[in-house]
Amino acid sequence: MSGTRGAATAAAIEDAALDLVLDRGYERVTVDLICEVAGVSQRTFFNHFPTKDDALLGRDVPDIDEPAARRFIVGTGPMLQDALSLVAPPAEGASISRLADRMKAISSVPSLLAGHLARIAAVDDEVRELVDLRLRRQKPEMDERRRLEEAEMLTSLLGAVMRWIAVASSRDDSDTVGFADLVRRARLVLDEVVRDSPPAPADPL
């Protein structure tokens, strides 16, 4: 099976699984039913996905954009806004609204949510490492505990912003809005939030 044909078959299986779960609910969807709707055999299904959950989670695993990571380490802009560029965009041809549908299905099923969280845990670890490297470069005087706390905080904030992007992608006609557009919108909103936030009170002497 050629790469293009195999990718198309896998996409058809993913679409069938997702449509069925959104329409009928997770418990009522079986591999047999997915195969019937996708027009494939069970053998073909298992050539692409070990389980029903894997088909629902999809092949587009969150990943770090390596060129963006190198730029981030030496960057000088606001760290959270700069960190938005770290997450690689969805695979070419992936619909943003379809990704939002997937998140809706995942969030309603504990086993799927656990699988999704396991996938992004590795990305979180990479983000923490990148923030640590940038802080070592920018603030060599910072002690290790404070540096690790700041890296943990920024990683958590980035995760929250990415969830905001997922929610935003479900609004309007998101098939006409690319991932990069949503990231730019998130960066603008972050800039406004920071600008509108009152300064922190001075520490008492």
CATH value at residue 71:
1.10.357
- Residue 6 pLDDT exceeds 60: yes
Domain match, 189 and 116 both: yes
**pLDDT of res. 103:** 81
Position 105: which residue type? Answer: A
**pLDDT of res. 146:** 94
**pLDDT of res. 93:** 52
Cβ atoms 88, 65 nearer than 8 A: yes
CA 28, chain centre distance (Å): 27
Q: With respect to residue 92, please indicate whether it lies within any of the assigned structural domains.
A: yes
- Residue 41 pLDDT exceeds 80: yes
Distance of alpha carbon 125 from alpha carbon 146, whole angstroms: 17
Q: With respect to residue 170, please indicate whether it lies within any of the assigned structural domains.
A: yes
Domain match, 169 and 82 both: yes
Domain match, 153 and 82 both: yes
Q: With respect to residue 205, please indicate whether it lies within any of the assigned structural domains.
A: no
**pLDDT of res. 101:** 82
Q: With respect to residue 183, please indicate whether it lies within any of the assigned structural domains.
A: yes
- Residue 27 pLDDT exceeds 90: yes
Environment class of residue 127 by beta-carbon count within 10 Å: exposed (0-12), middle (13-18) or buried (19+)? buried
pLDDT in tens, 124-170: 889 999 999 999 999 999 999 999 999 999 999 888 887 777 667 66
Per DSSP, 15 falls in state H
Domain match, 146 and 189 both: yes
Q: With respect to residue 28, please indicate whether it lies within any of the assigned structural domains.
A: yes
CATH value at residue 16:
1.10.10.60
Range of the domain at 161: 66-196
- Weakest mean pLDDT among 78-92, 106-120, 135-149, 171-185: 171-185
